[in-house]
Amino acid sequence: MPGLNPQLLARLVGLGVGGVIVQTAAVSQVPVAGANADLTPLLVMAVGLLCGSLAGGCFGFGVGLFADDVSLQTLGISSLVLLAVGYAAGRLREARDPEGTLVPLAAGAAATLIFALGFALVHFLLGVDAPVSWALVRQTLATLVINTLLALPVYALARRWLQPSLPDDPRRRRRRAYTTGGLSPLSRS
């Protein structure tokens, strides 16, 4: 993983552990419109966007494994789905390098949707006893809306937490230079 220094690793571990504990000890116990926010896909999306696909995938796997572990749920489900979320967010950054302020908002919504659908799919494959109703769809949609609203603040918090340890990205440095006129070929003429 390029640029993964021990300090960044420690911060990622802190973010993951802290995020899962806050989620299970507080956020899951606050129902909003009949549903709960789910911070885990948002955190994984944020790390993917900030650190890239490899770090995002590994972070997703780790957070999922930890979440399944502390919740006494079937091991491997969350890690498999969050791995995909983190990797996809990382690839988005690497392939498109989106700049807009609202990118985390859209990415957060997509991450939540992928997580909800992936989780449901794995559960169907494993065999769920009870039928699925509109209540589940409604609850998933409510979580999607709440998470979309939370995506920007969660991304901002994650960036603030990881920023001191993030390696300077050459592409971003180049973009900054262009915007200030420093390295632009046009500025030389």
- Give me the residues that bind other proteins (CB under 8 A), please: 2, 21-32, 34, 36, 38, 40, 53-54, 57-58, 61, 64-65, 67-77, 79-80, 83, 87, 119-120, 122-123, 126, 128-133, 135-136, 139-140
- Of 134, 61, 51, the residue nearest 91 (C-alpha): 51
Q: Give the whole-angstrom CA distance, residue 69 versus residue 44.
A: 17
Q: Which residue in the block uniquely carries the two structure tokens 């690839």? A: 91
**Rounded to the nearest whole angstrom, what is the least distance from the CB of residue 44 to other proteins in the complex?**
13
Instruction: Select 39 or 162, whichever has its Cβ closest to other proteins.
Output: 39
**Rounded to the nearest whole angstrom, what is the least distance from the CB of residue 141 to other proteins in the complex?**
11
**Rounded to the nearest whole angstrom, what is the least distance from the CB of residue 32 to other proteins in the complex?**
7
Q: Give the whole-angstrom CA distance, residue 128 versus residue 125.
A: 8
Instruction: Select 61 or 155, whichever has its Cβ closest to other proteins.
Output: 61
Q: Give the whole-angstrom CA distance, residue 184 versus residue 177.
A: 7
**Rounded to the nearest whole angstrom, what is the least distance from the CB of residue 127 to other proteins in the complex?**
10
Instruction: Select 70 or 106, whichever has its Cβ closest to other proteins.
Output: 70
Give the angle subtended at the CA of 4 by the CAs of 62 and 78, to the nearest 5°.
15
Instruction: Select 102 or 137, whichever has its Cβ closest to other proteins.
Output: 137
For 16, phi then psi, to 5°, come to: -65, -50
